[in-house]
Structure 1
Amino acid sequence: MATFNSVTAPDYAPAQMIPVRARGSRVWDEQGREYIDLTSGIAVTALGHAHPQLIATLTRQAEQLWHASNVYTNLPVLKLATRLTEATFADSVFFANSGAEANEAALKLARRVAYDRFGLDSKKTRIVSFGRSFHGHTLFTVSVGGQPKYSEGFGPLPPDISHVPFNDIDAALREIDAQTCAVIVEPVQGEGGIIPATREFLEHLRSACSKHEALLIFDEVQTGIGRTGTLFAYMGHDVTPDVLTTAKALGNGFPIGALLTTSEIGKHLSAGTHGSTYGGNPLAAAVADRVVELVNTPHILEGVRDRSNSVFASLRSINSRTGMFRELRGMGLLIGAELSDSYRGRSREIMSTALDEGVMLLNAGPDVLRFAPALNIPYECLDEAFIRFEAALNKLNRDKATSSATVAAQ
C-alpha cells in the first residue's frame, strides 16, 4: 500500500488487503488469508475467478493471434458478434474496451442517427437520462449520468442533456419530445442504489421513443451477461431497446465492451465515424465468446434465479435478528440492501468490517450494500459468506452499544 500511495494517482481508495490469488469465489491475500468474494469485481467475474475453460480459451488464442488492428478483422470477433446477434434483438455489434466506451459510442451514434435522418437544423440533439444514473467516467458519459459529483469541476459539459427522476413516468413523458434523439436508461440502476426499473416505466419509455423517433438505449453494462437471470435484463421485461451496451461480465475480467443494435441503426456508424484501437481484440473476443456460450444456458440462468432467492432469504433472516436493513431490492444476483436509519452513511464501514471477517462486499452509495457474487457461486460459499457477514454486523452492533454506553457513562 505504501507503493500504491507513492506511484499511483490518488483517484482510488483501495482496501488494505491486496488480493494475489483467486479461484472460483474464493480469494487469498499476501498473507494467505482466504476471503469469499460477493463482488465479482463489481459484477465482472460472473463465472468466478480462474475459470478453467476460460483459461484454456485464452491460452489457446494467445498462441495464435494477439492483435491485428481494425485494418483487418479476425475470427474470434466474428464468432463473438455472431453469437451475440443470434442470441439478441441485434444484428450489428461495435466492440470497445469498457462500458464507458460502449456508452460513449451509443450516445455518439444517437446524435449521428438524428443528424443523418433529420439534419442539424432539426435541433434533434437532446439526450434524456435519469437522476442517480451512472454511465461511465468519460466527459460525455458523466454528463449524461445523473450524479453531479462525477461531473463537477470538469466543465463546460456537453450540452442538450436533461435528467428526470427514475421510474417517474409522467416526468419522463413530459421531457421526451421531437428534439429528443435518445433516452438512456439502466434496467437496474447500479451505482444509484440497486433500483430496478418498473416494467411499466420501461414500456412507456419505449412507446415515447417510438413516437418521437428517438433511440431507446439500455445501459446493460452491469446487468448484462446473465446477472439478472436472463442473458440481458431487457429479456426479463419484454421491452426491446434500439441500442444495448454491455461490458463488465462480457469478458469475465478481460477488458471488453460492446454496443448492440439493428443493422438499420448500425449503418450510421459508417467507416471513419468512430473507432477503437483495441476494440474487437482477438484475445478479448475469444474469451468473451466462451463466456457468452457458458452463461447463456438454462443451467446458469436458472441457477442465478435460485441463488437470488437464497441471497434474499439469507438477508431477510439476518435482518430479522439485526434490524440493519430498511429495504432489500434488486434482480437476479444484483441485490441491494438499503441500511436502516440508525446505520445510514455507514456502508463503507460495514464493508471494512465484513472484510475483516473474510467477506468481500460492495456498496452502491453510502446507504446501500451491494451483493453481486459470481453467477455460479457454490451454495456452500453463500452459506459460509452470510455466516461471516452476520458476524461482522454483530461486531458493529457490539461496538455501537459499547460506544453508546461509554458516552452515557461520561
Structure 2
Amino acid sequence: MTEKTAETKVGEAQTAALELAKRSDDERSAALRSIADAIDERHDEILEANEVDVREGEKLLEDGEYSQALVDRLKLSPSKLESITEMVRSVAEQDDPLGKTQTARKLDEDLELYKRTVPIGVIGTIFESRPDALVQIAALSMKSGNAVILKGGSEASESNRVLFDIIRDATAEMPTGWAQQIEARADVDAILEMDDSIDLLMPRGSSEFVSYIQDNTSIPVLGHTEGICHVYVDRDADRSMAVDVAYDAKVQYPAVCNAVETLLVHEDVAEAFLPEIAAEYAEAGVELRGDEATQEIIDVESATAEDWATEYGDLILSIKLVDSLDDAIGHITTYGSKHTESIITEDTDRASEFMRSLDSASVFHNASTRFADGFRFGLGAEVGISTGKIHARGPVGLEGITTYQYYLEGDGQVVGTYAGEDAKEFLHEDVDETR
C-alpha cells in the first residue's frame, strides 16, 4: 500500500475537522474513554515497542549523540501508562469546551449577537522524545473537536507508531482522518508551508528545535523556546518549606521544562539555608554551581554567565545570592525565559510584588515550579506550555485550542436602517443569555 503524502493527510484532516466539530461532547468523550481502555489492554505491546526505542537511545547516549534527559523522557513504564490513561479519562470528564456563549448582546429588537466557542480546525504538532505527548495532544484535540497532525521524533518512532495505531483503532467511529501521523523529516518541511491548510502549529522540544519551527513557517506557532525557571528563597522564607520546594522543583523530574534551573537565595538566610539544601541535593546526585558568594558558604563549582541562561534538563542547578527582592527580580528578568518562577516567603506583600513584577506565564508563591502543568492545573492535560502573550499562556489545555465565531440572529434587518439622516440607533445591550 502506497504511503499517503503529507499533503493528502492534511487534506483528509481538513475534511475530518469540519465533521468532528459537529460531533456531540458525548461522542467525543466516549471516543476518549475508548482510547484509555485500549491503552490499558495493550500495555505489553506498547512497552515492547518502547524497549526498542530506549535501547537505541541508550546506545546513542553512550556515543554522545543523545542526552540523559532525552532518554529519560523517552522511557515508558506500567505506572507511566496508567498515568497516561488517567490523563485521557480526565480529559473526557472535562466540560465541553465547544458551543459556550462567551458574550451575548442585543443590537436591536430581534437582532442578537452571540460569541461562541468553536474548534481552531487543523492543528499540527511536532514533538521530540516523549511518546506520552502523542496521547496528550491527540486526547485534547479530540475533546476540543480539532483534527490533528502528529509528528514525533525518530527516537520514539516505535512507541509512537503503536500508540497512534491504538488511537486510530479506538476511534474508528469518529471522522476518518481526524488524527494523522507523519514520520518523514521531509514531511515536516512540507507542513510548515501549508499555511492555507493548517491553522496552528504546536512544537514541543529543545529551544533550537522550536526556534527552527518559528523561523520557517507563516503558520501561527504556539510554544516556548526554553524553560529557565527560578525559585527565589526570600529573607522571610520558612526554611523548612524552602528546602522542600527547592528540592522538589529540581529533583522530582529534572528532565522537564518546569524544573527549576536557578536557585536565588537572599543573602540574609544563605548561611543557614544553603548547607541544608546542599546536603539534600547531594543525596539526590545534583551537581551544584554557584556564584562567588555561594562558594564562600558551600563547596560548589563556579557558575558562569552561561549557566544563568541555561536550561539543563538534568540534575544540575545554579545558585546565586541576591541582596534584595529587586535583585532577584532583576536577575529573572535578565536571564529568565518567561516560563515559571516561584518565591518562597511568609511576607505576602513581598510575594505580591514579586508576582506583579514578572511577566512569566506562571508565577507562584510558596509552591514548586513543577506545578506548571496542565493536568495539575485541572486542565485534563496540556498540548504544551506557551510563554508567549497572545492567545494562550502557560499550560495550554482545551481553552487554548479553541477559538470563537460570531453568530447573529436577526429577523430581516438591513444595515440601511441604521444609516443616514433617519438612522435608527442600536441598543447594544449586553444580556445574560446562552444558546
User: Which TM-score band (shorter chain)?
Assistant: under 0.3
Could you say which structure has the larger radius of gyration? 2
